[in-house]
């Protein structure tokens, strides 16, 4: 069970900023920007964004729409959306998730 599955089922605490029946959005524990929120589908069926796009494009669209809503609320609608795919690209949790970043972005990689 991934750390995100444990957050979804509330066995690990997190700061939840948005939630519905398909996704949960939480504050990143090691933010790289003033706004750094993770949007996580509530299914662990997809390890990365490519699998999600192939398997459930409507859910991917919902992740993006949720990211936009968070950016609208927290950053005037301007944001960067990052999906890490693969270990060499910085992915450390193999449960698809999007990083919503806004504000003064720090240089460097985004891992998780």
Q: What ranges do the domains of the chain cover?
A: 3-102
Residue 86 CB burial class (10 angstroms; 0-12, 13-18, ≥19): exposed
CATH superfamily of 3-102: HIT-like (3.30.428.10)
Is residue 24 within 8 Å of residue 44, measured between CB atoms? no
- Is 97 one of the annotated active-site residues of the chain? yes
pLDDT in tens, the chain (112 residues): 889 999 999 999 999 999 999 999 999 999 999 999 999 999 999 999 999 999 999 999 999 999 999 999 999 999 999 999 999 999 999 999 999 999 876 555 455 5
State the catalytic residue, choosing from 36, 62, 95, 97.
97
Supply the pTM of this predicted model: 0.91
User: CA-to-CA distance for 77 and 109, rounded, in angstroms?
Assistant: 23
């Amino acid at each position: 069970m991934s750390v995100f599955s444990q957050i979804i089922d509330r066995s690990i605490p997190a700061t939840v900023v948005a939630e519905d029946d398909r996704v949960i959005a939480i504050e990143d524990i090691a933010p790289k920007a003033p706004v750094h929120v993770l949007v996580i589908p509530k299914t662990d069926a997809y390890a990365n964004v490519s699998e999600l796009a192939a398997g459930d494009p409507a859910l991917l669209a919902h992740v993006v729409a949720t990211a936009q809503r968070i950016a609208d609320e927290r950053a005037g609608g301007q944001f960067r959306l990052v999906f890490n795919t693969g270990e060499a690209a910085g992915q450390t949790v193999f449960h698809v998730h999007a990083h919503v970043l806004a504000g003064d972005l720090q240089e460097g990689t985004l891992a998780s």
